[in-house]
Amino acid sequence: MSTEQSVTHGYTQDKAAYSRRLKRIEGQVRGIQRMIDEDTYCIDVLTQISAIQSALKSVSLGLMEEHLGHCVRHAVEHAHDTGDTTEMDTKLAEANAAIARLVKS
């Protein structure tokens, strides 16, 4: 996966850490399937799902943080250098839409 040009995103340097967190979340989802298979008490299943939701929320907040500090930041700098705000406007609009989805999901 040569990334000579610019396919690095905010999270690129943390890829291994994100992979580990998602693998753990995947295991938690499998755990829920097992709980349901074994007729675990509803409330205990719900508690586990809430834990997964929190873990995913935390992944999302991390990705958003890196998105603002890298992609959005670079787009602002580029607009400042060139006077062309097109890419910056797109990046900001995308970030705002993603924050809104995050808040509502």
Binding to a second copy by residue 87, rule CB under 8 A? no
- Which position has the token pair 């873990």? 55
Q: Which two tokens stand for residue 45?
A: 């299943």
Per DSSP, which regions of the chain are E strands? none
| Four-CA torsion 59, 63, 68, 70, nearest 10 degrees | 140
Query: In the complex, what is the shortest distance from the CB of residue 40 to a second copy, in angstroms, rounded to a whole number?
Result: 8
Q: Which two tokens stand for residue 21?
A: 């967190």
Binding to a second copy by residue 46, rule CB under 8 A? yes
Residues that bind a second copy (CB under 8 A): 1, 3, 7-12, 15, 18-19, 22-23, 25-26, 29-30, 32-33, 36-39, 41-43, 45-47, 49-54, 56-57, 59-61, 63-69, 71-73, 76-77, 80-81, 88, 92, 94-96, 98-105
